[in-house]
Amino acid sequence: MSRSVSEIIASLGTGIHIDGQWRDAASGDTFEVDNPATGEVIATLANGGKADADAAIDVAAAKQAEWAAVPARERSEILRRAYELLTERAEELALLMTTEMGKPLAEARGEVAYGAEFFRWFAEEAVRIPGDARLSPDGKTRFVITHEPVGPCILITPWNFPMAMVSRKIGPAIAAGCTMVYKPAELTPLTSLYVLDVLREAGLPDGVLSVVCTTDAGSVVEPWIDSGKARKLSFTGSTPVGKLLLEQCSRGVLRTSMELGGNAPFIVCEDADLDVAVDAAMAAKMRNMGEACTAANRILVHRSVLPDFSAKLTERMSALNVGDGAADGTDVGPLVAGKAVDKVVELVDDAVDRGAEVLCGGSRPSGNGYFYPPTVLSGVSAESQIMTTEIFGPVAALVPFDTDDEAIEIANATEFGLVSYVMSESLDRGLSLSERLEAGMVGLNTGLVSNPAAPFGGIKQSGLGREGGLTGIQEFLETKYLAIPVR
């Protein structure tokens, strides 16, 4: 029989889990988690601080050697079981995620499938970590090259994809044999606690993954970085916080993986199939209510097709149902918090003040919850804040262009370089534009690039390293080489 969301929440632990035990915060503090569709409090969790952080990293360091010695096949099977359990319980986890984060249930189901897939993918990678043996060029030395777990890892994730952002770190860390300390986002900790329970049920030994929830991220993460016990930090979040953490990690020369912010251009050429382009724009813009690092932030449309494209896009955007993500028929849920709505209002007002035309939406509704309507803005000027700021909301900003060179110039005029999109029916042109775009990923005639089997990540200030794909596990491995003289 299926459980209600309050039963699911009641079954979760305190918010701090160290060495197989749920704990209260050493300070005794707690914090509340709310439902963004209603503003109601849905859970109260332990609010961790430095003392809890110290206890967690001590355990991660103490357990590292034992965990690294567990055979790869065993680690692989834990991941595989976790994938199967999550797939069986997808409906429960999707409901929990929607309740704490707001996305519509259909999208939450999609995220559970996507997030669980990282466990299956890395279950398969765990048993295929390569090595190498060869002779030196002068024939006098044998080289034996192995890959070892990097060591205890600090994991930090944002609230927008509360499951997938952490499973794509935990998956490769388990596959590589690293212990972990993890701080989930303050706004969406419950999904992480559910995933932790599933991993324990799948056989993850005590102490391999400790979790500390908190409202004061720095009080937990900085002690981990400065502990001298962590070897790596894997962060997903905004560029400003990423830069701060890079500075902190430089003190102990920790390895880092940084999945940071984006400002994706979405280019619609005049030879694009406009129906394909509108479908792709809807996916790239509206996934997660626009609260995605991969969201199409600037939609650049060739002037000759702008009237047709904007009419089709506006029709699709206007037809979306906004409401509680848990209700039937909802296409667009609330944003994650009141502050998120304030930021979108400010960006739209600024664009309108600078001459943009509102084709649909464009104003904050009254009532409970943190809602903002699907909005299309046309004729957005280059000076608008929306051109340089991640919108993180359901707002499509349309900008005309006349030549491919101009499109590339506008697209690359950003410090970010996560993902770009190109819509063209000409393969040569699509490939040429893709090659000229400064981005770690390009979607050619598609608005969706995320795939556990592909390397996800950005260039410029969008980050360092890649998650998923064949290289994802390398982020959690160190290379060691053994020199043996030939005698």
**Residues lying near ligand NAP in the complex (CB under 6 A):** 156-161, 165, 183, 185-187, 217-218, 221, 236-238, 241, 244-245, 259-262, 293, 390, 418, 458, 463
Q: Which residue(s) pair with 234 in the sheet?
A: 155, 257
Given the residues 107, 125, 259, 467, the one annotated as active site: 259
Rank residues 268 and 391 by Cβ distance to ligand NAP and give the closer one: 391
Rank residues 76 and 99 by Cβ distance to ligand NAP and give the closer one: 99
Given the residues 293, 438, 467, 475, the one annotated as active site: 293
Rank residues 245 and 376 by Cβ distance to ligand NAP and give the closer one: 245
Minimum distance between the CB of residue 27 and ligand NAP, rounded to whole angstroms?
16
Rank residues 430 and 463 by Cβ distance to ligand NAP and give the closer one: 463
Minimum distance between the CB of residue 245 and ligand NAP, rounded to whole angstroms?
6
Minimum distance between the CB of residue 164 and ligand NAP, rounded to whole angstroms?
9
Site of tokens 């909005």: 375
Minimum distance between the CB of residue 271 and ligand NAP, rounded to whole angstroms?
31
Rank residues 123 and 418 by Cβ distance to ligand NAP and give the closer one: 418
Rank residues 16 and 165 by Cβ distance to ligand NAP and give the closer one: 165
Rank residues 60 and 301 by Cβ distance to ligand NAP and give the closer one: 60
Cβ distance 153 to 104 under 8 Å?
no
Phi, psi of 102 (to 5 degrees): 110, -20
Minimum distance between the CB of residue 300 and ligand NAP, rounded to whole angstroms?
20
- Nearest residue to ligand NAP, scored by beta-carbon proximity: 237
Minimum distance between the CB of residue 217 and ligand NAP, rounded to whole angstroms?
3
Q: Is 259 part of the annotated catalytic residue set?
A: yes
> What sign has the CA pseudo-torsion 92, 93, 99, 104?
negative
Rank residues 245 and 299 by Cβ distance to ligand NAP and give the closer one: 245
Q: Cα separation of 87 and 98, whole Å?
A: 17
Minimum distance between the CB of residue 270 and ligand NAP, rounded to whole angstroms?
30
Q: Is 293 part of the annotated catalytic residue set?
A: yes
Minimum distance between the CB of residue 87 and ligand NAP, rounded to whole angstroms?
23
Within a 10 A sphere around the Cβ of 122, how many other Cβ atoms? 28
Tell me which residues are annotated as active site: 259, 293
